[in-house]
Structure 1
Amino acid sequence: MTRLSWAQVCARRLERHALSVPASATGPAPEADAVAAVVSTMCGAHAQVASAAELSVGLRVPRATRTVVRQALWTDRTLVKSRGPRGTVHLLAATDLPMWTGALSALPVASHEQSLLTPEQTEQVLAAIADALAEAELTTAELTEQVVARTGPWAGDRVMEAFQDKWPRWISAMAAATRGGVICFGPNRGRSITYTSPARWLPGFAPMDGRAALAELVRRYLYAYGPATPAQFARWLSAPASWAAKLFESLDLAPVTVEGSRAWVAAGDADFPDDRPAGLRLLPYFDAYTVGCHPRELLFPGAAADRALARGQAGNYPVLLVDGTVGGVWHQRRSGRTIHVTVEPLRTLGARRRRALEEQVERVGQILEGTASLTIGAVDVGPHA
Structure 2
Amino acid sequence: MTAEAVTHPKGVLDARSLNRAALARQLLLDRADLPVPDAVAHLGGLQAQEPQEPFVGLWSRLRDFTPGALDAPLTGRRLVRTHLMRRTVHLVTAEDVLAWRSRHDAMLRGRVLGTYRRELAGTDLDELAAAGRAVLADGEPRSMTELARAVAARWPQAGPRPLGEMLVAGLIPMVQLPPRGLWRTRAGARYAPVASWLGREVDPPAPPGTDPVGAALVRRYLAAFGPAASADLRAWCGLAGLPAAVAAVRGELVAFRDERGRELLDLPDAPRPDPGTPAPARFLPAFDNAVLGYQDRGRVIDDAHRGLSVTGARFVLVDGRVGATWTVEDGTVAVTPLRRLTRSERAEVAEEGRALASFLSDGAGDRVVIGTASP
Q: Is TM more than 0.5 here?
A: yes
Q: In the TM superposition, what is the alpha-carbon distance from 1:154 to its structure 2 partner?
A: 1.7
SS at match of 1:92: strand
Q: Residue 342 and residue 262 in structure 1: after superposition, are their counterparts in 2 closer, same or farther (change >3 A)?
A: closer
Distance 2:132 2:30 in 1: 43
Q: Residue 106 and residue 140 in structure 1: after superposition, are their counterparts in 2 closer, same or farther (change >3 A)?
A: closer
The answer for the alignment partner of 1:129 in structure 2 is 132
The answer for the alignment partner of 2:306 in structure 1 is 309
Distance 1:273 1:340 in 2: 31
Q: In the TM superposition, what is the alpha-carbon distance from 1:286 to its structure 2 partner?
A: 0.7
The answer for the alignment partner of 2:6 in structure 1 is none
Distance 1:158 1:194 in 2: 24
Q: Residue 273 and residue 208 in structure 1: after superposition, are their counterparts in 2 closer, same or farther (change >3 A)?
A: farther
Matching of residue 329 in structure 1 with residue 328 in structure 2? no
Q: In the TM superposition, what is the alpha-carbon distance from 1:188 to its structure 2 partner?
A: 4.9
Distance 1:363 1:94 in 2: 31
Q: Does the 8 Å CA contact 1:291/1:315 hold for their aligned counterparts?
A: no
Matching of residue 139 in structure 1 with residue 136 in structure 2? no
The answer for the alignment partner of 2:246 in structure 1 is 248
The answer for the alignment partner of 1:61 in structure 2 is 62
List alignment gaps of at least 5 residues for structure 2. 1-9, 181-185
Q: Residue 345 and residue 167 in structure 1: after superposition, are their counterparts in 2 closer, same or farther (change >3 A)?
A: closer
- How many corresponding residue pairs? 347
Distance 2:177 2:134 in 1: 16
Q: In the TM superposition, what is the alpha-carbon distance from 1:80 to its structure 2 partner?
A: 0.3
State how 1:199-218 maps to structure 2 within 5 Å. Answer: 199-207=195-203, 209-210=205-206, 211-218=211-218
Look up the equivalent residue of 2:301 and give its one-letter code.
F
Q: In the TM superposition, what is the alpha-carbon distance from 1:88 to its structure 2 partner?
A: 0.9
Q: In the TM superposition, what is the alpha-carbon distance from 1:233 to its structure 2 partner?
A: 2.2
SS at match of 2:332: strand
Distance 1:98 1:212 in 2: 14
SS at match of 2:52: helix
Say what the alpha-carbon RMSD is for the aligned residues.
3.1
Question: 2:189 pairs with 187, 193, 200, which one?
Answer: 193
Q: In the TM superposition, what is the alpha-carbon distance from 1:271 to its structure 2 partner?
A: 5.5
State how 1:238-317 maps to structure 2 within 5 Å. Answer: 238-239=238-239, 243-252=241-250, 253-259=253-259, 261-269=261-269, 272-274=272-274, 276-277=276-277, 278-293=279-294, 295-301=296-302, 305-306=303-304, 308-310=305-307, 313-314=309-310, 316-317=312-313
For residues 281-311 of structure 1, the C-alpha deviation after alignment (integer angstroms, 9 at most, x for no partner) is 111211110111463334223xxx32x3227
Q: Mean Cα displacement is larger for which, 189-198 or 225-234?
A: 189-198
Q: In the TM superposition, what is the alpha-carbon distance from 1:376 to its structure 2 partner?
A: 1.0
Matching of residue 167 in structure 1 with residue 161 in structure 2? yes
Look up the equivalent residue of 1:248 and give its one-letter code.
V
List alignment gaps of at least 5 residues for structure 1. 26-33, 161-165, 381-385
Q: In the TM superposition, what is the alpha-carbon distance from 1:366 to its structure 2 partner?
A: 3.9
Distance 2:328 2:373 in 1: 10
Q: Mean Cα displacement is larger for which, 128-137 or 41-50?
A: 128-137
Q: In the TM superposition, what is the alpha-carbon distance from 1:19 to its structure 2 partner?
A: 1.0
Q: Does the 8 Å CA contact 1:310/1:316 hold for their aligned counterparts?
A: no
Q: Residue 154 and residue 266 in structure 1: after superposition, are their counterparts in 2 closer, same or farther (change >3 A)?
A: same
Distance 1:269 1:109 in 2: 36
SS at match of 2:104: helix
SS at match of 1:36: helix
Distance 1:215 1:247 in 2: 5
Look up the equivalent residue of 2:367 and give its one-letter code.
S
Distance 1:205 1:367 in 2: 38
Q: Residue 280 and residue 202 in structure 1: after superposition, are their counterparts in 2 closer, same or farther (change >3 A)?
A: same
> Given the two structures, how large is their TM-score scaled by the length of structure 2?
0.80
Q: In the TM superposition, what is the alpha-carbon distance from 1:170 to its structure 2 partner?
A: 5.2
Q: Residue 80 and residue 238 in structure 1: after superposition, are their counterparts in 2 closer, same or farther (change >3 A)?
A: same
Q: Residue 154 and residue 372 in structure 1: after superposition, are their counterparts in 2 closer, same or farther (change >3 A)?
A: farther
SS at match of 2:28: coil
For residues 107-150 of structure 1, the C-alpha deviation after alignment (integer angstroms, 9 at most, x for no partner) is 483553665557983223323333444532222343235445xx
SS at match of 2:191: strand
Q: Residue 230 and residue 275 in structure 1: after superposition, are their counterparts in 2 closer, same or farther (change >3 A)?
A: closer
Distance 2:36 2:316 in 1: 22
Matching of residue 77 in structure 1 with residue 77 in structure 2? yes
Distance 2:61 2:23 in 1: 10
Q: In the TM superposition, what is the alpha-carbon distance from 1:104 to its structure 2 partner?
A: 0.6
Q: Residue 69 and residue 379 in structure 1: after superposition, are their counterparts in 2 closer, same or farther (change >3 A)?
A: farther
Look up the equivalent residue of 2:246 and give its one-letter code.
F
Matching of residue 229 in structure 1 with residue 225 in structure 2? no
